[in-house]
Amino acid sequence: MTFNTLDTIMAFDVQKIRADFPILSRIVNGYPLVYFDNAATSQKPKIVIDSIVDYYSNYNANIHRGVHSLSQEATDAYEIARQKIQHHFNAEKSHEIIFTSGTTHGINMVASGFSKLLKVGDEIIVSAMEHHSNIVPWQMLCEKTGAVLKVIPMSEEGTLVISEYEELLSENTKLVFVNHVSNALGTINPIKAIIEKAHKKGAAVLIDGAQATSHLMIDFQELDVDFYVTSAHKMCGPTGVGILYGKEVWLNKLPPYQGGGEMIKTVTFEKTTYADLPHKFEAGTPNISGGIAFGVAIDYLNSVGLINIQEYENMLLKYATKKLLEIEGLKIYGTSSEKTTVISFNIKGIHPYDIGTIVDKLGVAVRTGHHCTQPIMDFYKISGTVRASFAFYNTKIEIDIFIEAVKKAKMMLS
């Protein structure tokens, strides 16, 4: 199905959407809040907030363990949320969706599991534009196993050099780890091609989707991805919950990440046997309200429409990019033609922290620093950037306010 961009934007009632988000009516430092830190965490619609209150007010109970009515209600709601996530991402089976505390947790679960499967001389590949959460666990894995870490280089435009990736792949490659979208640059990586090339060498692939799932339609089966991780709080859901998707065959190969209640089948002092998927990887009492609210957030995003969101956000990205480049001395890092709504920039001679501090006084929330991507900053020989990141509830008027705030900061700091 194709969509006309103009028709989509005209049908997209951003003011109606904004009314769903209580925090967007806040006043900060005497100004209406302009929230442009969506890559760090998205805001939450009232329906998601209400679902958390509803759980604790009406059917708070532990799940999977009780025969009483409240426990059964909570279990049903939690497992329905798992099924919503399965269908949203088109996983083949619901037990391939493992609830986690977030993206970092999911990555570490896979890294821990592969510590039992790798040996000296095996190779794993990451990209140069990864978040620290998708670098450090693999370094730790290499230290444990003697495997070798290799890095896909990036270009000045902020895109991966795929020809170099092809050279890195070998019969010794066991794992490839790449983010779907760069949190620092907004670049959308060609993950389908990356997955296909890795599979030809027999390697498994994990995709960090934390920055992608709020912007793009993602189909796990169409991608043929082995593992995919993301966080609810980037998708209008609560913090402290996310998912690890894994193909059933891989999840059955990996040992449990933690021991405890829920993940067992039988326990004696002589031997413990483990539960079937997904419970094998879900030890202990989970973030029940968070998982339920994640399902509600998925419903909300689908009610708005991911295609509608993508079209509208692309308009915001183009508009903001054009306006920012009109400011003398401003440089944008990450200029790929395939981007989500992240703009990282600096103004010559001005520290990004100083810009962020001044625009905050004017009610505009942006992020400054290295964004947990220090290797990217080292590549560009900078200490950090100002990062503005937009969501579907932002507006062109807010971008105009932001541009004027940046201009004022430049004037004050020059």
Active site residue 236: no
| Nearest in space to 206 (alpha carbons), one of 243, 175, 185, 169 | 175
Q: What phi and psi, each to the nearest 5 degrees, are found at residue 179?
A: -80, 145
Residue 369 three-state SS: strand
- On the question of pLDDT at 40 being above 70, the answer is yes
Q: How many whole angstroms separate alpha carbon 256 and alpha carbon 245?
A: 15
Q: How many whole angstroms separate alpha carbon 338 and alpha carbon 314?
A: 10
Segments of 119-276 assigned E as strands: 123-127, 148-152, 173-179, 204-208, 227-231, 242-246, 264-267, 272-274
Which pLDDT score, from 0 to 100, does residue 264 have?
64
Structure tokens at 52: 């958390």
Q: Are 148 and 200 in contact (CB under 8 A)?
A: no
Cα distances (Å, whole numbers) of residue 325 to 255, 273, 328, 372, 397: 50, 60, 7, 25, 17
Catalytic residue among 327, 330, 372, 413: 372
- On the question of pLDDT at 278 being above 50, the answer is yes
CB-based contacts of 385, cutoff 8 Å, min separation 6: 184, 333, 344, 345, 346, 352, 368, 369, 371, 377
Q: pLDDT tens digits for 229-277?
A: 999 999 999 999 999 999 999 999 998 887 776 766 776 677 777 677 8
Which pLDDT score, from 0 to 100, does residue 79 have?
97
Residues above pLDDT 70, as percent of the chain: 96
**Bridge partners of 35?**
365
DSSP-H helix ranges across 154-247:
162-168, 191-200, 220-223
Which position has the higher pLDDT, 41 or 265?
41
Q: pLDDT tens digits for 341-380?
A: 999 999 999 999 999 999 999 999 999 999 999 999 999 9
Q: Are 181 and 159 in contact (CB under 8 A)?
A: no
- On the question of pLDDT at 33 being above 70, the answer is yes
Residue 204 three-state SS: strand
Of 128-137, 153-162, 173-182, least confident by mean pLDDT is 128-137
**Bridge partners of 205?**
176
Q: pLDDT tens digits for 70-83?
A: 999 999 999 999 99
Structure tokens at 113: 């599991």
Q: Residue 3's CB: how many other CB atoms inside 10 A? A: 13
* 49-302: CATH architecture: 3-Layer(aba) Sandwich (3.40)
Q: Are 181 and 356 in contact (CB under 8 A)?
A: no
- The DSSP element (H or E) to which 65 belongs, if any, is none
- On the question of pLDDT at 4 being above 70, the answer is no
User: How would you class 299 by CB atoms within 10 Å of its CB: exposed for 0-12, middle for 13-18, buried for 19 or more?
Assistant: middle
Q: How many whole angstroms separate alpha carbon 384 and alpha carbon 113?
A: 34
CATH topology for 5-41+306-413 is: Aspartate Aminotransferase, domain 1 (3.90.1150)
Q: How many whole angstroms separate alpha carbon 272 and alpha carbon 40?
A: 40
Q: Are 216 and 164 in contact (CB under 8 A)?
A: no
- On the question of pLDDT at 10 being above 50, the answer is no
User: How would you class 400 by CB atoms within 10 Å of its CB: exposed for 0-12, middle for 13-18, buried for 19 or more?
Assistant: middle
- On the question of pLDDT at 106 being above 70, the answer is yes
Helix axes 103-114, 136-145, angle to 10 degrees: 10
Q: How many whole angstroms separate alpha carbon 352 and alpha carbon 348?
A: 10
- The DSSP element (H or E) to which 203 belongs, if any, is none
Q: How many whole angstroms separate alpha carbon 293 and alpha carbon 42?
A: 14
Q: Are 51 and 292 in contact (CB under 8 A)?
A: yes
| Nearest in space to 160 (alpha carbons), one of 334, 364, 363 | 334
Which pLDDT score, from 0 to 100, does residue 276 have?
79
Which pLDDT score, from 0 to 100, does residue 7 have?
43
Q: Does 190 sit behind a cis peptide bond, omega within 30 degrees of 0 on the bond before it?
A: no
Which pLDDT score, from 0 to 100, does residue 11 have?
63
Domain residue limits, the chain:
5-41+306-413, 49-302
User: How would you class 119 by CB atoms within 10 Å of its CB: exposed for 0-12, middle for 13-18, buried for 19 or more?
Assistant: exposed
- List, as one string, the DSSP characters of 175-201: EEEEESB-TTT-BB--HHHHHHHHHHT
Q: pLDDT tens digits for 180-226?
A: 999 999 999 999 999 999 999 999 999 999 999 999 999 999 999 99
Mean pLDDT over 303-316 rounds to 96
